[in-house]
Chains A and B, each alone.
Chain A
């Protein structure tokens, strides 16, 4: 199997300007040294809390933010350059579904026009064939073809997200990047959208990058899962492995903090103290060390690299040194 998407040392830095002269007052590394690859036909789930850089990463991959460094390799070819994001020919093959189906559609145009926009931009087909394509893609996402003439406000949240998916799929992309596509939806509607994405992935042989803060959703849809913290990858593993046997203390805490819909599981929680540090002023060494019960002097000084442990790759000194086993006890004592 070959990797469809590969990132090598990708980082994204935002410059913060302030004052009357808009001088540079700070720099934020939103994502740092991201190495990943997604094989054709697989789904990579990206999880982490707000501010961990997962949405920035998605935007870098689709070219909405140019990467500040590193290589984005798509289908064997580097597609990014330092100034203008990724090259236009590749944007057609990489499409994105956004989080908020209420604000991602233009309220002033019929949804058919929004869906066809990609075809118009890339100069594909004439008006008649575009219209036909819109009708077909609407049916594929479970809406009638006539929906094309209606406006976004006439649809429910779930229907709008279907339109968002149609809009991304009309260019027949190979890679679909979904940024929290169900976070704004109710659970019963979320189930519809997740089922649709699974079905489309199978039918169209899509490769997906699926960003979410909801671990259960990622468990359901992803083949591999990547956990991010403060712009860094802390752990990557096949989904079943990560959920059964998380190595990184942060992955363990994240899994444990997620409430499960079963009253018998109540209270068995590892609880993390503190909050995510400001990315403007990141901690030295391992970004997780201020909240980590296993942190020692090495963790405070030295950034751990991703190392393989079985099928998992994890960035943690405690795991590498074999100190990580007593984590449950360590947290219970706290």
Chain B
């Protein structure tokens, strides 16, 4: 396979708070190939959104990316000057946020906001940019794009506003699109439309997508590869079929079993006891150990003393667990996702 378009290497982000330093993203390493969709999934507070923001260089204060590399076709985004990053963002790498109505500027028409992308990155004049924006609105399925150009964000429904966001993000046909919960605020029939639109545009432009979501249904629908995060760490990484059919990490297994099924009514759902640990007060050893049902029956002392590495457990399948991963001294030790 060719060189991945985006390589994330040991990316770490710390939030300095009064309660201490919180390692929100802990040495995340991921590859993204052209035209592929990588889903990052996990519960609130697992660090999936901060990972996305760290990649885009948009971590809010008091957070700070403290280490690692983000290589876009080999060039490290973290080593670029602000002027250089500004050229990349919105052009070669762009982002869609969860709540479209708050991500759009309320005092400008949507047409002006989309045209701005073309003016900044493609150096078009106002007329050309407007024409390009109208065409783009049509491409993302906005009826009557000419008239919609003059509309303000508050005049749009959530689904419409998210289409506008996608239009802006894809205006320059970026190589990488980071979508942070793009359909969480939308109804299911609209969600289906937006997911289909993303898939279609990916096919047309060959865009690689990092899709952040907590919805395992959306993951099953969209992903080629999946990274499961817990308390700032990737705990499992696999292609989508492997992850759903033979998950290795106890957290992934429990997460999949806690989703109610549409097929039949179960009596009781499986629950994960306890809650995500506070990042300023992490447990010793495996971060999931205090909630892990497998550990409770296994009696493995390393779980509560030594943090497991993310190890290869099969072709393209990596897992961070003492109990289901091979032991660390085996020859297959291939640290991280290389």
Chain B contacts for A261, CB-based, 8 A: 216-217, 219-220, 244, 256, 259, 261
- Render A172-215 as a binary contact track against B, CB cut-off 8 A, 1 for contact: 00000000000000111111101100100000000000000101
User: Which among A187, A253, A254 is the interface contact of B216 at CB below 8 angstroms?
Assistant: A187
Chain B contacts for A191, CB-based, 8 A: 258-260, 269-272
Q: Verify A258–B269 contact, CB threshold 8 A.
A: no
Q: B327 within 8 Å of A by Cβ? A: no
Query: B311: shortest Cβ distance to chain A, in Å?
Result: 24
Within the assembled complex, what's the spacing in Å between the Cα atoms of A217 and B266? 11
Query: B45: shortest Cβ distance to chain A, in Å?
Result: 9
Q: A298 within 8 Å of B by Cβ? A: no
Q: Verify A186–B269 contact, CB threshold 8 A.
A: no
Chain B contacts for A271, CB-based, 8 A: 189, 192-193, 196
Within A250-274, the residues touching B (CB, 8 Å) are: 253-267, 269, 271-273
Q: Verify A263–B241 contact, CB threshold 8 A.
A: yes
Q: Verify A259–B217 contact, CB threshold 8 A.
A: yes
Query: Do A50 and B265 form a contact, CB below 8 Å, given A188-B271, A191-B270?
Result: no
Q: A297 within 8 Å of B by Cβ? A: no
Q: B262 within 8 Å of A by Cβ? A: yes
Q: Verify B189–A49 contact, CB threshold 8 A.
A: yes
Within the assembled complex, what's the spacing in Å between the Cα atoms of A6 and B214? 38
Q: A275 within 8 Å of B by Cβ? A: yes
Q: Verify B269–A195 contact, CB threshold 8 A.
A: yes
Query: Do A187 and B255 form a contact, CB below 8 Å, given A219-B261, A239-B265?
Result: yes
Within the assembled complex, what's the spacing in Å between the Cα atoms of A49 and B191? 11
Within the assembled complex, what's the spacing in Å between the Cα atoms of A334 and B221? 21
Query: Do A266 and B188 form a contact, CB below 8 Å, given A188-B43, A261-B244?
Result: no
Within the assembled complex, what's the spacing in Å between the Cα atoms of A217 and B240? 23
Q: B159 within 8 Å of A by Cβ? A: yes
Query: A220: shortest Cβ distance to chain B, in Å?
Result: 4
Query: B262: shortest Cβ distance to chain A, in Å?
Result: 5
Chain B contacts for A257, CB-based, 8 A: 188-189, 191-192
User: Which among A216, A239, A256 is the interface contact of B259 at CB below 8 angstroms?
Assistant: A216
What is the chain B residue whose CB lies nearest that of A219?
B262
Within the assembled complex, what's the spacing in Å between the Cα atoms of A77 and B214? 45
Chain B: residues with Cβ within 8 Å of the partner, total of 44
Within B200-225, the residues touching A (CB, 8 Å) are: 214-221, 223
Chain B contacts for A240, CB-based, 8 A: 265
Q: Verify A259–B215 contact, CB threshold 8 A.
A: yes
Q: B59 within 8 Å of A by Cβ? A: no
Q: A158 within 8 Å of B by Cβ? A: yes
Q: B300 within 8 Å of A by Cβ? A: no
Q: Verify B275–A156 contact, CB threshold 8 A.
A: yes
Q: A243 within 8 Å of B by Cβ? A: yes
Q: Verify A216–B260 contact, CB threshold 8 A.
A: yes
What is the chain A residue whose CB lies nearest that of B192?
A257
Within the assembled complex, what's the spacing in Å between the Cα atoms of A275 and B267? 35
Q: Verify A259–B265 contact, CB threshold 8 A.
A: no
- Render A45-67 as a binary contact track against B, CB cut-off 8 A, 1 for contact: 00001100000000000000000
Query: B145: shortest Cβ distance to chain A, in Å?
Result: 16
Within the assembled complex, what's the spacing in Å between the Cα atoms of A156 and B326? 35
Q: Verify B221–A194 contact, CB threshold 8 A.
A: no
Within the assembled complex, what's the spacing in Å between the Cα atoms of A72 and B259? 35
- Render B182-203 as a binary contact track against A, CB cut-off 8 A, 1 for contact: 0000011111110110000000
Q: Verify A187–B259 contact, CB threshold 8 A.
A: yes
Chain A contacts for B263, CB-based, 8 A: 243
Q: Verify B262–A215 contact, CB threshold 8 A.
A: yes
What is the chain A residue whose CB lies nearest that of B276?
A186
Q: Verify A275–B190 contact, CB threshold 8 A.
A: yes
Q: Verify B159–A258 contact, CB threshold 8 A.
A: no
Query: A229: shortest Cβ distance to chain B, in Å?
Result: 11
Q: B157 within 8 Å of A by Cβ? A: yes
Q: B44 within 8 Å of A by Cβ? A: yes
Q: B254 within 8 Å of A by Cβ? A: yes
Within the assembled complex, what's the spacing in Å between the Cα atoms of A191 and B259? 7
Within the assembled complex, what's the spacing in Å between the Cα atoms of A188 and B251? 10
Q: B19 within 8 Å of A by Cβ? A: no
Q: Verify A275–B269 contact, CB threshold 8 A.
A: no
Within the assembled complex, what's the spacing in Å between the Cα atoms of A240 and B266? 12
Q: B268 within 8 Å of A by Cβ? A: yes
User: Which among A186, A195, A219, A265 is the interface contact of B214 at CB below 8 angstroms?
Assistant: A186
Chain A contacts for B267, CB-based, 8 A: 198
What is the chain A residue whose CB lies nearest that of B245?
A263
Within the assembled complex, what's the spacing in Å between the Cα atoms of A34 and B180? 38
Query: Do A272 and B192 form a contact, CB below 8 Å, given A187-B43, A259-B221?
Result: yes
Within the assembled complex, what's the spacing in Å between the Cα atoms of A260 and B223? 13
What is the chain B residue whose CB lies nearest that of A51?
B187
Question: 10 extra interchain contacts, Cβ-Cβ under 8 A, other than A187-B255, A191-B271, A275-B157?
Answer: A189-B275, A216-B262, A220-B266, A253-B189, A256-B192, A258-B217, A260-B221, A261-B216, A262-B220, A263-B220
Closest 10 CB pairs of A and B: A259-B217, A49-B187, A220-B260, A191-B269, A188-B272, A257-B192, A191-B258, A186-B43, A261-B216, A259-B221
Q: List 23 A-B contacts (CB under 8 A).
A: A186-B43, A187-B43, A187-B214, A191-B272, A192-B271, A213-B187, A217-B260, A219-B260, A219-B261, A219-B262, A219-B265, A220-B260, A253-B189, A254-B188, A257-B189, A258-B188, A259-B192, A261-B216, A262-B244, A263-B223, A264-B241, A265-B220, A272-B189
